[in-house]
Amino acid sequence: MSPGTRKSAAGPRKAVPRAPKATRALLTVDVLTLFPGYFEGPFNTSLLKRAKDKGLVDLRLRDIRDWTHDKHHTADDVPYGGGAGMVMKVEPLDECLKQVKGRRKVRTYYLSPQGRPLTNDLAMRLAGEKAFLLLCGHYEGVDERVLATRVDEEISLGDFVLTGGEPAAAALVDAVARMVPGVVGDPRSVIRDSFYEGLLDYPHYTRPRVYQGQEVPEILLSGDHRKIERWRRREALGNTYRKRPDLLAKAALTDEDRKVLEELQKEPRP
């Protein structure tokens, strides 16, 4: 029997993919999931598709069922102690993580509502890691022994529960890939995004100049780039003050920013 091939009661199994060799991609992500088809849309559309086509991002889908041993490819079982739902089995997860990681010194992240919240800063850190593994849970989650021995950190999209880790993994990959040099056409778009400097973004406008009586702010048509930048900074501060004031405590503010905030605090809240 050749390496990477298993037999089961159903006969020879297909070859299990080996741990991948290093590539020239700036970011390599292995996504371990029971539902690889879920990612056909997100990973083959828009920015992520262009990133893949350029060879900047290498996204690899790993079907956890390839590491099961029975003819039904069972990846879950009833929980010890009773209770509702099913739990993903330790054996296929352990073998999958071990083989996909191989000898690479890469971290493994588990998408979980119990994890550390995904933020812009965390996305930037992950982009700097160059390669990592994402484990998508399902049902009631994964056997705790997998978390104890194979997972480096848990990451959450927020205080809510999804049907599985796949939607969270797709969102995480999208957020991280944007940070990879060359993925976004104009790097200024990334620098000026919400959260990059601890603030929300400023308002954006495009043609037509007037629509149903609503006009584009005159200053954006002035051609005075210094005044435009000051207006945008003030609007970003205003958006943050009105919508997410909690962000201001950690934002890098200048003396001029603080003066703007003092003026905003004197204005009536909408």
CATH code (residue 95): 3.40.1280.10
Q: Report residue 256: phi and psi, to 5°.
A: -65, -40
Pair (85, 160) in one structural domain: yes
pLDDT at site 152: 98
One digit per residue, the tens of pLDDT, for the chain of length 270 reads 333 444 444 444 555 555 445 447 999 999 999 999 999 999 999 999 999 999 999 999 999 999 999 999 999 999 999 999 999 999 999 999 999 999 999 999 999 999 999 999 999 999 999 999 999 999 999 999 999 999 999 999 999 999 999 999 999 999 999 999 999 988 777 766 667 788 999 999 999 999 999 999 999 999 999 999 999 999 999 999 999 999 999 999 999 999 999 999 998 877
Asked if the peptide bond before residue 208 counts as cis, ω within 30 degrees of 0, the response is: yes
Pair (89, 172) in one structural domain: yes
pLDDT at site 188: 76
Q: First vs last Cα of the chain: how many Å apart?
A: 71
> In one letter, which amino acid is 18?
R
pLDDT at site 102: 96
Pair (262, 160) in one structural domain: no
Q: Which residues are catalytic?
A: 113, 140, 178, 193
Q: Residue 228 sits in which domain range?
A: 210-266
Pair (55, 172) in one structural domain: yes
Question: Would residue 6 count as lying in a domain?
Answer: no
pLDDT at site 15: 57
Pair (215, 171) in one structural domain: no
Pair (173, 214) in one structural domain: no
Question: Would residue 5 count as lying in a domain?
Answer: no
With b for 16 or more beta-carbon neighbours within 10 A and e for fewer, the 38-76 pattern comes to bbeebbeeeebebbbeeebbbbebbbbbbbbeeeebebb
What pTM value is reported for the model? 0.85
Domain containing residue 255: CATH number: 1.10.1270.20
State whether residue 71 is helix, strand or coil: coil
> In one letter, which amino acid is 25?
A
Q: Give the pLDDT confidence of 96-121 residue by residue, as tens digits.
A: 999 999 999 999 999 999 999 999 99
With b for 16 or more beta-carbon neighbours within 10 A and e for fewer, the 166-190 pattern comes to bebbbbbbbbbbbbbeebbeeeeeb
Question: Would residue 125 count as lying in a domain?
Answer: yes
